[in-house]
Amino acid sequence: MSQDILVIAPIYQYHPILLHSLIAQQCKDWRLLLIHDGPPPIPLLHHIKAMDDPRIDFRWTDERANQFGHNLREWGIEIAKSDDRYKHQDILGILHTNADNYYTPGFIGHARAVIMRNPVAAVYCDCIHNYKKWLHLKTELKITCIDLGCMVIRADIAKKFGFPWREHSSDWTLFSKIIKEHGAEAIHKINGIHFVHN
């Protein structure tokens, strides 16, 4: 039985670059829960159907909420907790990101290997960030110094905390709770720039 990384990604009416970077991963042990904020446009439905990949689970809400995608992350966690396709023993870690983001081909495998071999709470990496005008963001466990898409969180921890927050910087709210409960030393940083935030 594989232990996959579950990627939870909100989307709203744009081309999902994330899909292609996941398909290109050297490690194939991932699943994508792609959630559209409101009914999706027909071309997007056709695009995802044409990819014909059973690892992609595409869902949407009846109406758009426009809450930075945070309500969709919360729903994604609830799906991960209740849907038989995402039983605890099948999911090793959870990555919250957006569908317009990009990951290097080795990221999933690298993060997965660290979580499998070490008693860590989460794994994170450096990134290139559009808020920094596409410059290197040397990530740290400090507010404004790390992005939600940089971190793969152990599945049981991600499910426990969920994602009930709606503020723009809710990623730091989640990280601070993980640090408070498990300690910063339980969050492992891997070398390299593996994430591009668009």
DSSP string, the chain: ---EEEEEEEE-SS--HHHHHHHT-S---EEEEEEESSSPPHHHHHHHHHH--TTEEEEE-SS---STTHHHHHHHHHHHHH-GGG-GGGEEEEEE--TT-EE-TTHHHHHHHHHHHS--SEEEEEEEEGGGTTEEE---SSTTS--GGGEEEEHHHHHHH-----STTHHHHHHHHHHHHH-GGGEEEEEEEEEEE-
pLDDT at 88: 63
CA 173 to chain CA mean position, Å: 16
Between CA 12 and CA 35 the distance in angstroms is: 9
Domains located in the chain, CATH noted: 4-197 (3.90.550.10)
pLDDT at 124 over 70: yes
Per-residue pLDDT tens for 55-106? 999 999 999 999 999 999 999 999 999 998 887 668 999 999 999 999 999 9
Between CA 127 and CA 67 the distance in angstroms is: 24
* Region 171-194 average pLDDT: 97
Between CA 128 and CA 132 the distance in angstroms is: 8
pLDDT at 1: 52
Q: What percent of the chain has pLDDT over 90?
A: 92
Whole-number mean pLDDT of the chain? 95
Q: Which residue has the higher pLDDT, 45 or 87?
A: 45
Between CA 73 and CA 81 the distance in angstroms is: 12
> Cβ(129)–Cβ(67) under 8 Å?
no
